[in-house]
Structure 1
């Protein structure tokens, strides 16, 4: 998974260039002779610049760099000084792409381009390579046509429909620097936006990539992200984990361990180094100090290297050429260094010594079912061969697969006989040896607990699963990884594995021959088909009528619901949300009654789109969530931007929270070496959540009971500020109403005992759930750990009450926090004691003994005195139970019956 030696000459990729002009609403008819020659352009209210939508009348105005499109045209706005002097440089402007001469552009983006201006005397065409673009890597074409400044100083980029797609506030000037960095400054000449801080698919000399910054290939398929321990390359997929295929670390131990590609495919749960964790969170030595701000990667031409430094201070370098102009993450997932060089005929080309390389170490190297192997090596170029599974691998695979496109084997393979679940008796699993999946090691590190099984069990699981098209298996670890036709896991990548430990089984469908009994079958089919068709038509009519009634009811419910909201959220169509989420490509996780996907609205806001996947069960929750969160506005409540209510589709559009839910940070294991929350951050999260609940209970016009307070429903933004989310179970109550009768819902472990016993809930149920969350913030573990069953620490609330009575509050602190010197400071220990006392008062077995959330906030803030005597704390020792969809309870004795 580490960069092999053949690619160590590669550099890292991004930004800068285009041409120059600052005329108000001036349409350039030629790339030559831009009006503005200065590096900096003053922006005033009313200034605007429009793209040229007409195809150039002269071919000399077209871009001679054709890799971006067969025909492209550049309308310059502002250029670096070196570019204006006629030499190689950078320019900002509108880059228009055309599929054919004339007509309307197929795509227009605001771009920074690297290149050489055209020769007005000799008629030479300009040579321009985009290194930054306003377009997001998604495969979708977007047309932007205008850049303008509003009265409030907001610099906006507008689409063809006049909607804003990108903006920068407080813009007073733009500067196109000679290093390719486009800087927008305010009236005090302070930088408010830089292209170097917003990379796309390229890295330029001197540009620094810090932790969290990400580059993506122009097709959106591959990404590289800077983490605390180094660079992680992965393929975008629908899975919760990234399909990692390359890492580049500054830690020499990790680097050397994974330098051998064979070692990178050894699946061992007790391996000395965890690939994912080593990049996500490096383990600093005693002499090193963890500091995220020092982790960067930079292309440094003065030392002819790509320099990488991790959060521990380790440094590594990759040699590169001093003439490198740009490093780019290409559409095949391989990162290459490029130089713009002049040819003998005075034209130019973008040259890379590694341009012929496309090795087998990307998960999609040969497409679906494609087997990738190295055919030969010519100089520094490693050539690959893509083929389909065939009789070479197994005689039973003869004629089973064929290329999707014979002229382009890298597109992958198709089945000549599709899998048919109704004919499972005609299905078999056929083995291919010495085959594995590129990302199998990082996936193994995430899933080995649930996916380790004997080979026969893996076969049985795949045969019984209609969506399983085959599986990868590693004999030494007994690891089973299934894949399907429609996911990237259907790629079979061949590498030089040192043994036959790695195998793959592909499910094959055998065609049923006509045989001697075909006539009865034909006759029975002739009778059955009309009958089936009639039944189908009747069912369709019934379903359409039912959906019509349902739609009318939903429309009335929606009108009634939105009529009481002060500012109704935006209603989106399902087609719009599909587009904004790139067909629901990036799954963030699962929420109440549905999955959540990342997306981006046309105005540039990142969003989390929650798709309710069970119509009948989630409809009430859907309307409840709109009613609840649509009428709230608070710093610690997640914002609802909009919704979709369209036949069977129920979607909610929320603001995007960069750091996800609290549970993914809080419940990481020591050995995983993931990020850890500091005590200050945990206390801030607890106080923010308390304030959000206090608002719901006491400050809303109609009080709101959340019903499902837990770490999974506490979301964290980029600054780790907490916001409550997932109001699918929430209930509006009238002022003065103290209790509500309802069936048991929510999550075991956070449900108040009176709800389980009597189905009666009040605000004190949310207080109970919050108290359980506070204890988990202190301990860094779940309140009930099955692995500790039998010991006094199994049920943490009871253990915490005991330690509190003894005054031994420090025994309850997350052991990972105790390794930090900061937790030993007096104020931190006092805060820990405060949080534990508050938590225990919140989970008192008697609801009336629990404080209100307003009082909880006061106790955490220090404005209200804490309870004096912890001996009075009475903690409910909750039994194991689960909740059925109808709300009924199964207790411990039902789940685990005793034997007599």
Structure 2
């Protein structure tokens, strides 16, 4: 009876207050005044609302309306829910209510007063509980006698859903053993827990941000924390609109953010598809704008390149670290790199292992922090610990550099460039010897890898001393041997020049017969002089098999010298292939081969020099000035020129030739911006067959057709597909691979197909062409491009038909069918990664970077 009397007394006290505020927006709820369906609480600043809502899917299988209690933004026209209470058990009638009891407990009740969602009563005695919606969007239960912002009895910020607001925390509260993590909605309009969750993990004292998917499988991860950012999340460090907060102490361990402009709405969201997005509300257009996406490309997919594999972000592909090779070359040929790489030379902890320094990396998974070690102590301890595969030093906790090590195989590495971190990777004695001979190791996409000083054991130092002594004792014999070799080499070269007389026998890559190539043979002295001994300032490009240098012969003629890497396992075959094929080709839209050079292990091709470089430098990127150098007339001319070059290769040359690597970086431009097809290293020729099958799939992602990727079948229609991709890239100024659109997951082909079906093909056009384009020609080119990328090879036109289509102004073109591989971010054939070539391996896919000649 005493409890009932107290409850009635409290209710009597609150009744006048309810009456006074019933006609105005209120931000608090007290016992005895439930929040009924149709009523709301509004934060004092008017920014957030608490109430019942119906998701847009609205009707369940039994045709009953479902209702959830949630918090959403008040003053924007799009219903944007940031927190949901009863995610798993919605109300099925409009008679629900939220009740705060006299002990501070919360409950959602249905029309029969049955509780479907509850918040337990706080421990201890609460005299005057109040539920309040704060300006931050936090829903709190507090003691009405305590107006401070600390000591809440309960708060919604402790239980995030799919959204993190400014001031929310992702991580652990050690005192209450509470783990705060984000979980996606099942779909855009169903708030039930989805497949993806984002959490802050602390394994072996090393903080990481981890995205889990179905069955709790790791989808992506970033870390460890370096004092300013998680490794691999450089966009967060440099973003000007918010500040990231990381706290680690005895009471809590969390990450959060705050917006730098308090008048703007920001939210951090895990989408139903697993995208981690930072969004900003734009008032003029009434829409949410994506500022950044944390997992924005395939290299953010966890472990996509397996152990000791590196994912490249320019043209997403996998390569092995220096000193490693694919564990299963056959799988890599099938674009499955998840098996990773194996060491070429085994470790031997007792035989002077050492470390090699890499720069510009996202650090691997499963790191461990060894506290209170100086950098020198870190190196020494890692070297003594046989399981220690790598180390670095980071300011993890903001109190000075910490020793971070990896005690297992290295997984989930990617190239980041200047925003990446240093990593010292353990190598065996044999591999270190090879590196010392070369002094530096240079790779395609990141800084030189060097062997640091003072990182090997004392035993290693003793071995070095023994080697020096041995060298001194045998130096005379070595000098004599060197002089003898030099003499034999000079005699051999003289005889060779006297007998070859410009003709070099090569074996065709497609048969056993031999043919003479009527091209000029240059000696090494001529090439070295022309390129200033391959000076770095003359380097104009980097390709899949080597570097390209600008040079000038003694006659004054400018040339481009393509020098193959000595370490390339594929280089000799591709060198022979390119030299034998292109020497026989003469067409105004093909790059001209002037000669070659073979001396010792060096192999070089000498081309005409094209000062404007490659097409990709003009149509891609953000340099509007360069884009404007190619107005519509020039772009249309380039498309037609490339088409004519392919007709020559397919129909008019002595052999039917399939290029197999047609892409923007392999189209070079002369002084008048006329296109020339280059890089025939992957080309194949045959006389009678119209189609061949290969077990070794080569090419560049985004340009290869479905039948080639999945079955190894290639024909002239393979080049037609690549041409279609290239044409659409020229028209749009966007790359097919890596294309992103906020409204869908299609790549560039899918985007063009969607616009065509909607009757809006001109929306594909590069904006810089608006003042110069011809509407009929533009639509004609888009249609031809879509015809070329159709999924079935038989549906694609021949290149001769393409040229005819581009010439005709009145011909009626067929309607294109669905393109192949048009869903760029969910392409199932890719498996978990897309693989590329490294100069050290002989895997099947090449990834070529800019190669200006």
**TM-score interval w.r.t. the shorter chain?**
0.3 to 0.5
Structure with more contact order per residue of length (Cα contacts < 8 Å, sep ≥ 6)? 2
